Amino acid sequence: MLKKQTISHYKHQLKQKVKERSTKSMLYVFVYFPTVLIFLYLFFIHSPMYISESNFAVRSNDMNADAGGLGGLLALSAAPTSTVADAHIVQAYILSMDMLNHIQAQVDFVGHYSSRSRDIISRLSRNHTQEELLEFWHWAVSATYDMDKGFITVYVKAYTPEMAQTINKLILQNSEALVNQMNNRAHQDSIRLTKEEVTLAEERLAKARIALQGFRDGKELLDPQETAKKLEEVVASLEVAFASTQAELAATIQVKSKKNIHVVMLENKLKALKEQIAKEKSRLAGVNDNNETLSSVIGNYSQLVIEEQFAQEQLVKAMSTLESARIKAISQSRYIIPFQLPTLPDESLYPRPLLFSFFGFIGLLMSLGIISLVVAAIKDHVES
């Protein structure tokens, strides 16, 4: 019996030793050795890369324009909803294929990152697809929006400091171009309707003036109202002269005979004044060649004048509305404020062999532990 227990004890110890050796072997094969390979690759093979950083914010003219003191300070750390949305649009644009195409047109991005002088693992494949190129762009460029601070941070990794800074500068320039394009589109949309109103008012005023000028040319009257007013003044002055002459004649007859030359002259003058008054009154209420009375001409003329005045007032209001729309559009313009211009790195910060090797070691160790637990669970399930 004792002998069986001893044999069983040795078997158990043997299994334990085999298990320990197996565990050590797995650690060496799946953790230690890969970690050493990672370190050797990062330290000796991986091409050094340089990181350029920039920070900028999207702001609006109407953002806290009247805020002072504490409000002005808070404006630096809090953005309105509209500018937050614009910042997210700019962030998405930076990481988009459109931005990559613009960068490629301005600088040889693909040539720099796919150069055979770089290590084969980190460089861009020369036979890349569009999806692979965009994925590499996301690896080389990062753009994050800080909700608390209200600005976008852009990091660019490149194999030379100059290329990293150049790409970062181009990203900033293209982002500004996008914001300007958004401003122009918003301005055009906001003033398009008011411009149409101004155009309609100008056309209406032009038609009213043409109609008024045509009326004047056709009637050969510059201003029928003024003409009628002058005729009335002439009639009134003639009637005054007629009354004065009539009184003078009555006084003269009392002292002189009717055949007196002075009396005859006054009678002739009265007759002439009477005929002139009748003639002027006839002109005032008479009918022209088109069977139109002066009063009807004045009525038609007044309508044309009122139409011209109304069209002119409408044009003034439309132009005032257009100017207000332009001022409002300008006040709502967005623009980019760089807090930190793209930096020119003076040392390689990517990769970091020790740090990245440590992360790789932790990751491999955790993966091995999870796999071991899964395998042990399966064995227990099979044995049970």
Q: What is the pLDDT of residues 169-179, one digit of tens each?
A: 999 999 999 99
The per-residue pLDDT for 130 is: 93
pLDDT at 348: 75
Instruction: List the one residue out of 242, 302, 233, 231 whose CA is nearest residue 272.
Output: 242
Give the confidence band of 60 by pLDDT, cuts at 50, 70, 90.
confident
Query: What number of CA atoms fall less than 13 Å from residue 19's CA on the CB side?
Result: 8
Give the whole-angstrom CA distance, residue 165 versus residue 269: 105
Is residue 5's pLDDT more than 60? no
At residue 241, φ and ψ (nearest 5 deg) are -65, -40
pLDDT higher than 80, residue 363:
yes
Cβ–Cβ under 8 Å, residues 308 and 209:
yes
Give the tens place of pLDDT for each residue, 183-216: 888 788 778 888 888 889 889 888 888 887 776 6
pLDDT tens by residue, 295-349: 666 667 677 778 888 888 988 998 888 888 888 777 778 889 998 999 999 887 7
265 has pLDDT over 70: yes
Q: What is the separation, in whole angstroms, between the first and last Cα of the chain?
A: 28
With CA atoms as reference, report the closest residue to 113 among 81, 86, 136: 136
| Mean pLDDT value across residues 57-83 | 55
pLDDT value, residue 75: 44
Given this model, what pLDDT does residue 370 score? 87
Look at residues 176, 131, 134, 136 and name the one whose alpha carbon lies nearest to residue 152. 176
What pLDDT is recorded for position 74?
A: 42
pLDDT at 283 over 50: yes
Question: Is residue 72 pLDDT above 50, yes or no?
Answer: no
User: Quick check: helix, strand or coil at residue 55?
Assistant: strand
Rounded to the nearest integer, the mean pLDDT of the chain is 77
E-strand stretches of the chain: 50-60, 141-146, 151-158, 334-340
pTM: 0.59
What's the pLDDT at 100? 96
Q: Given this model, what pLDDT does residue 160 score?
A: 93
Instruction: Give the pLDDT mean for 76-104.
Output: 84
Return the structure tokens found at 384: 């049970």
pLDDT of residue 66: 43
| 30-39, 141-150, 221-230, 297-306: least confidently modelled range | 221-230
Of 60-69, 109-118, 365-374, 375-384, which range is least confident? 60-69
What is the pLDDT at residue 139? 92
More confident call, 377 vs 125: 125
